[in-house]
């Protein structure tokens, strides 16, 4: 779990200082994990920030390494993006937290080709919706299996009927 940074003055650990300097308009708060600086962004600001990360010469985050969807509990989902720059050999993590009721996240496929399958996987595993994804089909599960196994509410062992069940609220019973 991320550790909250001190409130004032805003401190930018590691790479986030550089990001703040080159993208002063981007709205994010910074936490840090054991390995990376973790930028917390609202879903609406994500695309703009990532565009900046990708395009600015001094940042040049040219690789999207990983997308992780997490069920954070309390009806919240988080999406973690891990970026890496081959040019400068630095990395950063971006987190978007969305409520279950409005679980829409902009798709990054327009910027990173790598986002395609990662987003499809996160979408089917956690029920996230990636707006603007060109091919939002199921990837690992069957197409007509409407379950999201990585939600914490999904039962571990008692799944019996899988096919043809309509998508419901988290915590649906089988």
Beta-strand runs (E) in 8-50: 29-32, 37-41
CB of 72 to another protein, least distance (A): 9
Q: What is the largest CA-CA distance in the chain?
A: 54
- Spatial distance between the Cα atoms of 128 and 122, rounded to a whole number of angstroms: 7
Of 21 and 152, nearer to another protein (C-beta) is 152
> Which residue do the tokens 């069957």 mark?
142
Compose the 91-130 pattern: x for residues touching another protein by CB under 8 A, - for all others.
x-x------------------xxx-xxx------x-----
Determine if 139 is a binding residue for another protein (CB under 8 A).
yes
Segment near another protein (CB under 8 A), from 14-22, 45-53, 146-154, 161-169?
A: 146-154
- Spatial distance between the Cα atoms of 28 and 128, rounded to a whole number of angstroms: 21
Determine if 148 is a binding residue for another protein (CB under 8 A).
no
Compose the 28-47 pattern: x for residues touching another protein by CB under 8 A, - for all others.
-----xxxx-x---------
**Where in 59-88 is the site for another protein (CB under 8 A)?**
62-66, 68, 70-71, 80, 82, 86
Per the CB < 8 A criterion, the answer to whether 28 and 39 are in contact is yes
CB of 25 to another protein, least distance (A): 25
- Spatial distance between the Cα atoms of 101 and 43, rounded to a whole number of angstroms: 14
Query: How many other β-carbons are positioned within 10 Å of the β-carbon of residue 135?
Result: 10
Among 129, 136, 154, 162, binds another protein (CB under 8 A): 154
């Amino acid at each position: 779990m991320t550790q909250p940074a001190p409130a004032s003055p805003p401190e930018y650990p590691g790479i986030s200082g550089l990001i703040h300097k080159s993208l002063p308009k981007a709205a994010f708060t910074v936490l840090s994990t054991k390995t990376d600086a973790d930028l917390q962004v609202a879903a609406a600001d994500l695309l703009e920030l990532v565009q900046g990360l990708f395009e600015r010469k001094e940042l040049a985050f040219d690789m999207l390494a990983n997308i992780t969807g997490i069920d954070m509990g309390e009806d919240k989902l988080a999406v973690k993006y891990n970026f890496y720059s081959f040019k400068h050999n630095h990395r950063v993590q971006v987190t978007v937290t969305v409520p279950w009721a409005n679980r829409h996240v902009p798709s990054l496929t327009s910027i990173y080709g790598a986002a395609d399958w990662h987003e499809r996987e996160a979408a089917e595993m956690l029920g996230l919706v990636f707006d603007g994804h060109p091919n939002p089909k199921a990837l690992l599960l069957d197409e007509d299996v409407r379950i999201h196994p990585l939600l914490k509410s999904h039962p571990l062992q008692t799944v019996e009927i899988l096919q043809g069940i309509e998508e419901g609220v988290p915590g649906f019973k089988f």
